[in-house]
């Protein structure tokens, strides 16, 4: 008997695949390569074609067409790694069957409880079967749920040749959680007209807009003098850093924004009187507002340098990724196909902007339009992560229905 999506998921989360943002290798951790090799074996056992596992642990495979009709090649993508935010080693998942709506005790001895009082989204899944952690690791639904769903959908399609389709490509890549997942993705080798990342959260999520993103590193150079004799001489770089940060809009921070609202986010301050480093990120869905935010930060630096002397503050500003909307809108039918697929399988589409980024954003700018579809998990990156089994199955159904819809259409968009 073939594995179902739950069985696959429980197997996959046994692999520790945490990525490392400080690593200089690709993949950033060798344990991702172990998981990729395991998945390659599974794809081979399933009889997929054109299987390629490269030296950077990018894994590609093909479910061949079962019709002579000329149809687009579509792809489904998920990432191998889990977040550096919490350990992914020794994950001990537990299945809560027919969830009744109350607290779920993860570790009684340590009082770790998954409660709808703190996580009201639990109540949207009363009566469903929920996979939870033991309270000491993340779960890994981000994005092993996506991998399990893609594998399960491919297995179903193999078992149902009556569903006619063109080539379906699948890909699993490392290091998404550290923003590097798309950097070494071979779009030409993948060879798709368009694709979908299976990396969203709650059932129905469908995203083709994301933040424009930049990172900033500020270096503030002070002048240290014995504090008893410092008048008119000392420049305390820590206080200059505080002055600079206070110039940014106080209400344009992550904890005070939502929806399409952008922000500045100070992620780290490290320093002494002599020298301080400030790290921050800039986010906005609107490209013009994004550019204006970068200009504002540069203007703040100029003001501070005017007050304390040129060269007191230096700014390193780097764009990270852009809003995929500008690349997806010209082929918006790929979003409409996903919406129709959801409706057809009883899911209400929830189209919303991503307050973050996905591999799909970078892939879209590399020539592969790539909206993001729900994988079903919630509370990613921490001990309270969970995923309803029924949500994973709905994601499988959506993948199958997308393939069915594309196979049944005579005229479709092409990115080629």
Distances 225 to 135, 209, 222, 230, 289 between C-alpha atoms, Å: 49, 50, 10, 5, 41
Per CATH, the number for 212-320 is 3.30.70.360
Convert the pLDDT of each residue in 113-133 to its tens digit: 999 999 999 999 999 999 999
**pLDDT category, 415, cuts 50, 70, 90?**
low
Q: What is the pLDDT of residue 1?
A: 35
Q: Domain spans of the chain? A: 5-209+324-408, 212-320
Report whether pLDDT(410) > 60. Answer: no
Backbone angles phi, psi at 294, to 5 degrees: -65, -40
The larger pLDDT score, comparing residue 330 to residue 320, is at 330
Where b means 16+ CB within 10 Å and e means fewer, 347-372 reads: bebbeeebbebbbbbbbbbbebbbbb
Give this prediction's pTM: 0.88
Give the CA radius of gyration of the chain.
24
Catalytic annotation, residues = 81, 176
Mean pLDDT of all residues in 174-197: 95
| Cα separation, 372 vs 390, whole angstroms | 19
| Tens-place pLDDT, residues 205-241 | 999 999 999 999 999 999 999 999 999 999 999 999 9
Q: What CATH fold (topology level) applies to the domain 5-209+324-408?
A: Aminopeptidase (3.40.630)
Distance CA 250, CA 258 (A): 15
Position 119 scores a pLDDT of 95
The predicted pLDDT at position 128 comes to 98
Residue 122 and residue 324: Cα distance in Å, rounded? 31
């Amino acid at each position: 008997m073939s594995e179902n999506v739950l069985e696959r998921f429980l197997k996959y989360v046994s692999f520790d695949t945490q990525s490392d943002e400080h690593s200089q290798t690709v993949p950033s951790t060798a344990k991702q390569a172990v998981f990729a090799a395991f998945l390659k074996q599974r794809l081979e056992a399933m009889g997929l074609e054109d299987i390629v596992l490269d030296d950077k642990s990018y894994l590609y495979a093909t479910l061949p067409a079962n019709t002579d009709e000329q149809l687009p090649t579509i792809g489904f993508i998920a990432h191998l790694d889990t977040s550096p935010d919490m350990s992914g080693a020794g994950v001990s998942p537990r299945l809560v069957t027919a969830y009744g709506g109350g607290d779920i005790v993860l570790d009684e001895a340590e009082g770790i409880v998954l409660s709808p009082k703190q996580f009201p989204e639990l109540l949207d899944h009363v009566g469903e079967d929920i996979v939870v952690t033991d309270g000491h690791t993340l779960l890994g639904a981000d994005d092993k749920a996506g991998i399990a769903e893609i594998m399960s959908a491919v297995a179903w399609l193999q078992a149902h040749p009556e569903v006619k389709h063109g080539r379906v490509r699948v890909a699993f890549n490392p290091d998404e959680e550290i923003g590097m997942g798309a950097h070494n993705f071979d779009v030409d080798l993948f060879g798709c007209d368009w694709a979908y990342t299976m990396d969203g959260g709650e059932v129905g999520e469908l995203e083709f807009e994301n933040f424009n993103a930049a990172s900033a590193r500020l270096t503030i150079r002070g002048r240290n003098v014995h504090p008893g004799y410092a008048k008119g001489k000392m420049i305390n770089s820590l206080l200059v850093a505080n002055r600079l940060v206070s110039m940014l809009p106080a209400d344009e921070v992550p904890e005070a924004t939502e929806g399409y609202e952008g922000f500045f986010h100070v992620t780290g301050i490290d320093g002494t009187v002599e020298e301080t480093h400030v790290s921050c990120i800039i986010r906005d869905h609107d490209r013009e507002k994004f550019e204006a935010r970068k200009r504002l930060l540069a203007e703040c630096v100029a003001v501070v340098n005017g007050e304390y002397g040129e060269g007191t503050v230096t700014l390193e500003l780097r764009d990270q990724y852009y809003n995929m909307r500008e690349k997806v809108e010209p082929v918006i039918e790929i979003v409409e196909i996903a919406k129709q697929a959801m409706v057809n399988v009883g899911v209400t589409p929830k189209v919303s902007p991503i307050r973050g980024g996905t591999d799909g954003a970078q892939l879209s700018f590399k020539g592969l339009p790539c909206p993001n579809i729900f994988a079903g998990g919630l509370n990613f990156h921490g001990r309270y992560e969970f995923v309803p089994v029924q949500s994973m199955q709905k994601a499988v159904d959506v993948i199958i229905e997308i393939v069915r819809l594309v196979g049944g259409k005579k005229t479709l968009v092409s990115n080629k």
